[in-house]
Amino acid sequence: MWVQLAILVVSVIISYATRPKTVTPKASTLEDFKFPQGTEGTAQIEVFGTCWVDNWMVLGAGNFRTSPIRK
């Protein structure tokens, strides 16, 4: 029984020492996304609610916040 317990302790130590280290991801910025932008002279459509638009563009985007996910 003591031999099995010693093997268990040694295997836990080895698995803890050889586990991969986690890397924290960087926060997203606007440069990470490619939004379609309107050209000069294109009519700007303002939509309130949900609907399908054939020619859409992004006039503004933001509110990127980072907060840890907790359970």
Domain that holds residue 41: 24-71
In this prediction, residue 59 carries a pLDDT of 62
pLDDT along the chain (71 residues), means of 10: 93 92 80 71 72 68 70 74
Output phi, psi for 8, to 5 deg.
-60, -45
Residue 5 in domain: no
In this prediction, residue 15 carries a pLDDT of 93
Residues in the chain: 71
Residue 2 in domain: no
Residue 16 in domain: no
Question: In this structure, are residues 38 and 59 in contact, taking their beta carbons and an 8 Å threshold?
Answer: yes
Residue 19 in domain: no
Residue 38 in domain: yes
Whole-prediction pTM value?
Answer: 0.35
In this prediction, residue 31 carries a pLDDT of 76
Q: Please count the structural domains in the chain.
A: 1
